Each structure stands twice: as structure tokens, then as C-alpha cells.
Amino acid sequence: MQHKKGYETNELIERLPKHLKQFIKPQDYTDYTPINQAVWRYVMRKNVDFLSKVAHESYLKGLEQTGVEIENIPSMYGMNRILKEIGWAAVAVDGFIPPNAFMEFQAYKVLVIASDIRQLQNIEYTPAPDIIHESAGHAPIIANPDYAEYLRRLGAIGAKAILSAYDMELYEAIRKLSILKEANQVSEEEINKAQQEVDRLQQMEVEDSEMLKMRNIQWWSVEYGLIGSMDDPKIYGAGLLSSIGESKSCLKDDVKKIPYSIDVVHQKFDITKPQPQLFVTPDFSYLMEVLEEFANTLSLRKGGRKGLQRLIESKMVGTIELSTGLQVSGKFTEALLNDDLEVIFFKTEGPTALAFREKELIGHGIQHHPNGFSSPLGKLKNISLAIEDMGPVDLKAYNFYDGKWLSFEFESGIKVEGMNVTGIRNVQGKLMLIQLDECSITYNGEYLYKPEDGIYDLVIGTKIISAYAGAADANSFPNLYEASQSLTIKAPKSEETKRLEQQYQTVRDLREQNVKDDAQLRTIFDLVQNNYSSDWLLPLEIYELTDDVALQQEVNTYLSDLAKKTPALNTLIIEGLAIADKALVK
């Protein structure tokens, strides 16, 4: 099924809310160059060769179950056709997306895949999310049901973790750096400047937000997690599974291994460097235990003054749920407190929506409340029974029914007067909202609301039982997340690069068609030696493909000399030759 915006869709993708669909982009498979395909093939062959011994047992089987091939960069369409068998889907996006959006995709069981692929010079590792990391790293372990459920639950909780302004600033800085590092024709000065900004932010002493702690949990489990015994742990984290360098170095003794626990929420990380320590979980179910332990500390489950204050500081759309079950979603700007530091009044600015059980109340969306919302909270003065707990007889006794003039005072001292137009009750029959005409609300002699401001919607509730990021009804805010202004850079290719790509394509065609043409391979090898002396991957493919023993020996000598002269390429070349030799024996 083709979406009107050009990407392949299915039932799981179609049910995503509009504010997530804005991040989905078509995967233009023709964008992948022959060099990109060679990079994919090298990484996957090397990974499968090594990871078959050290990765979690789900890895190899999971590659097949999720449609991830060794020889070809996967297509979203092909992956989705196979992923649907395990209840998941995959979509292509442009690099990093906002933290809450990333988590929310997971909650909907949709794997977010940055469809670009790392450049040859970053073949071992890149801080940028790419199709190697996302599909070859994340997808295989999702085939494990316990892990898949952990990932979904992590997304559901993480999507509601409250961000700080710092979180968004760091996200934008990392996104920009990752884009620059994978772009061609970008100056070192520009990359260094972006790196310095990331370093500056990461070194800042800031209070850990809920989202920062959630990112730490995600990092030390989903991205860089080990599983099993402390003596012989296996790899399951996508960052390790997709890094042909760190997947090997991480198992050495100089990388400290620590039992996984809730303490990981305080363990910071640097996305641009290898990790000095890793955490080992005994099994996937234990990840869920720690996640639930952490979730109990979040405003999502605690609510109250602190939860509302975090929403105010985030300056993003969030939701509070009241004791009646009524949910208010918007950008919160103000909270009045009593002497016991309990919230007695709250206020939002801009579009606001009201909901109950994650469903927007009819007539109370952002079109009805475009300019903010406010309401007092608490019990009434000298009345032991809260409004929300009043039955029909009690409500009548205190004039809480349609067409009656109301005048009452909260314990906090907030006074309310107005004509009761109508009320809305929850499924238990308890009053959760009253509409008042000619309404005035005063506190300490000052107006919080005036009669000339129009109909007033007074929410009923004694306290805030939950506070979380995002909207109660996923469809209330079509533009919940703002897309980043830092876009992937597509620099024009030089003629020299185009010629090199043609040579890669010729070799690829020969291999796929099982055609032996040693004369043509020698011509290509001579061209590489004379014009592309830093390229090592194409000679490696020629080495594996040729039947000409003399040519093979020449290529081997050439690559061995290049490995000695260029320490950064030494391991890549030596291990590449070893894999090719294994293939030749077969």
C-alpha cells in the first residue's frame, strides 16, 4: 500500500497519529550507491562472522526473521512484509528525531530506521543513526518476544517522560554533528565547531530530567546492553551489534562490566566515543523489572506539584490527569500553591485540549480552547465532601445543577461565581467539568477570570494524579513535535566519485551474475592503484572475485602494504582479507 507522501505503508503504520507521520520519509532505494552497497556487505559479513559467536542467540535467527540480508541493503517494503509476522513495522526517517517521538514510535511497535548509510571512512562506527545501526542492530533482537515487549513498554513509558529545554538543545546539537560527520565536502572546522558544542552541553552540570534518565536506560540496554553471565556476557545492544570495531573491543577486560540495575539512570554517556563500561542484564525480563521500578519514580505515576512544575519548565505540550480522570493537555505556564505546596490553580497558554481516558472530549479540542485554559483545584471550604464525590442529592443541596447560580469558595481561598450552564460526568457518574456563564474567579482580591471573558470551563478535581509529556489523545495536537531545521546534507558528487562508483557497480554486477572476467577486474584494479590509492574496499572485492592467482596475489600485496602504511585501515583490511579467504575456501 502506497501512502500519498510516497512511502510504503501498512496497518501498523496507518494507525500512527499525524504528529508521528510527519517524520516518515520515502526510502528511495536508488539513492544507495554501489559503494554504499559494498559498505553494507562488508559490515554484515564481518558482523555475522564475529557476532555469531558473541551475540545473543536471537541475533542470527533474527536477521532472517526481520528481512535483513547480508548482500543487499534492506528495503523498507521487504522488511515490513516480514516484520508484520512478529507484529512490528519499520519506517524510514531523516536521522535523529525528537526523543519523545522516537519513544512513541516504539510504543506503536514501529521501528524507526534512518535510511541513510554511513560513509566508507566511517565504516567502523558513526554517531549518526544509519540503516546499518537501525536495521542490522535493532531489528534482529526484536524477533525475541521478551525483548520486543520490553522495547514496546520502554517506548510507551519513555514517550511520556518529561523533557527539559536542555534535552532539546542537546538533541539538536547531536543531530547537527551527526549530519556533518556523514556529509561530504564539509570542512573540518565546521565539524569541530559542532563537536565542541556537543562537548559543551555534555559537560554542563544540569539536573537530570526524566527524559535524560530515560535516555540513559535506553542507551545502556537497547543500544549498549550485554546479557547473560558476568563472566561470559553476550551482545544484544544495537550500538554494539552495528559497530564492527566496538563489538569486539567491548568484550575485553579493560571495558568494565557492571550488573544492570536502576543505577543506570544516572550513568551518562558520550555518543561520539567508545563506552568505558557496560551493563549486563541476566535476561530480558529483568530489563522490564528495572523499567517498572524506574517508571514508579516518574511524574506519570506520581503527578502532584513536582510533575506540573516539570511540565512548566519543559515549555512543551504535556498533560495532567486529575483525580476525576479528566486530562488537560497543553503548554503549562503557571501553578498557584497553598501553604502545603499543593496545586490550587493551574494555567496553560495556547491550544489546549481536554480528554478522558485518552479520548478527547467532544467540543473541547484545541479549536475550542485556542488561547489557553485555567482552573482551580481542591476541596470546597467548610464542606468535607469533594465535588467529585458528591451524589445527585449532594449536588442539588449545593446548587450544582444546570440553570442555577453558583457561588462557592475553595479551601485555598479561591472564590468562584457564575451561572451553571451544564456539566460533564465521567463513566462513574462523577462530575468532572462545569461550564459557567458570567463567571468570575478571584484569589486574594485579584481576578483570575472575569465575566466578560466568556463561558468558563471549570474542571473538577482535588489533585493531580499524573503528569506527563505529550497529549492525552494522540490526535489532539497534529503538530505535537517540531521537526528539526538541521537537514541531511546531500552534496553533489564529483566526476571522480562517479567514476569510482561505476567501478564498484561493475564488480557488483560480475559477482551477482556469477561472471568471471579477470581481464576486466585487472583493468579496474589498475585504475584504483593509479587514481584511488586510498580506496581499500574495491580491491578487497576484486581479491575475492578473481580466479587469476597472480592478480589475487598482487591485490593481497597491495592491500597488505596499504594496511601497514595506514594504521587506521589495518584491522579493516586484515580482517576483510580473512573473511574473503574463508569465502574462497568454500
Residue 322 bridge partners (DSSP): 464
Please say whether the beta carbons of 342 and 305 come within 8 A: yes
Amino acid making up residue 266: H
**pLDDT tens column, 394-453:** 888 887 878 889 999 999 999 999 999 988 888 888 889 999 999 999 999 999 999 999
Residue 93 bridge partners (DSSP): 114
How far apart are the C-alpha atoms of 247 and 133, rounded to whole Å?
12
Cell numbers at residue 224, please? 549498549
- For the chain, helix, strand, coil in percent to 5 are 45, 20, 35
Amino acid making up residue 497: T
Please say whether the beta carbons of 68 and 79 come within 8 A: yes
Please say whether the beta carbons of 242 and 136 come within 8 A: yes
How far apart are the C-alpha atoms of 127 and 103, rounded to whole Å?
19
Return per-residue pLDDT of the chain as tens, 586 residues: 555 555 677 788 999 999 999 999 999 899 999 999 999 999 999 988 899 999 999 999 999 888 889 999 999 888 888 898 899 999 999 888 888 999 999 999 999 998 888 888 888 877 777 899 888 888 999 999 999 999 999 999 999 999 998 888 888 898 888 888 877 778 889 999 999 998 899 888 888 999 999 999 999 999 999 999 999 999 999 999 988 888 889 999 999 999 999 999 999 888 778 999 999 999 999 999 999 999 999 999 999 999 999 999 999 999 999 999 999 999 999 999 999 999 999 999 999 999 999 999 999 999 999 999 999 999 999 888 888 888 878 888 887 878 889 999 999 999 999 999 988 888 888 889 999 999 999 999 999 999 999 999 999 999 999 999 999 999 999 888 876 777 677 767 889 999 999 999 999 999 999 998 999 999 999 999 999 989 999 999 999 999 999 999 999 999 999 999 999 899 999 999 999 988 776 6
How far apart are the C-alpha atoms of 437 and 13, rounded to whole Å?
44
DSSP, collapsed to helix, strand or coil, labels residue 311 as helix
C-alpha torsion sign, points 518, 522, 524, 528: positive
DSSP category for residue 71: S
Cell numbers at residue 342, please? 499543593
Of the candidates 575, 515, 579, 500, the one whose C-alpha atom is nearest the C-alpha of residue 545 is: 515
Q: CA separation (Å) from 374 to 220, 241, 336, 345, 415?
A: 40, 49, 11, 7, 14
Please say whether the beta carbons of 191 and 173 come within 8 A: no
Angle CA(543)–CA(547)–CA(553) in degrees, nearest 5?
Answer: 50
How far apart are the C-alpha atoms of 126 and 411, rounded to whole Å?
58
How far apart are the C-alpha atoms of 111 and 152, rounded to whole Å?
10
- Give, for 297, the enclosing helix (H) or strand (E): none
How far apart are the C-alpha atoms of 168 and 190, rounded to whole Å?
21
Burial of 410 from C-beta contacts in 10 A (0-12 / 13-18 / 19+): buried
Angle CA(471)–CA(464)–CA(412) in degrees, nearest 5?
Answer: 135
Q: CA separation (Å) from 208 to 212, 213, 215, 259, 267?
A: 6, 7, 11, 22, 11
Helices 34-54, 567-585: axis angle to 10 degrees equals: 80
Of the candidates 405, 477, 489, 453, the one whose C-alpha atom is nearest the C-alpha of residue 177 is: 489
The torsion angle over the Cα atoms of residues 173, 179, 184 and 185, rounded to 10 degrees, is -30
Place of cell 522488511: 79
Distance of CA 533 to the CA centre of its chain: 39
Give the pairing type, strands 110-114 and 89-93.
parallel
**pLDDT tens column, 157-190:** 999 999 998 888 888 898 888 888 877 778 889 9
Of the candidates 368, 317, 359, 369, the one whose C-alpha atom is nearest the C-alpha of residue 474 is: 359
Whole-angstrom Cα Rg for the chain: 29
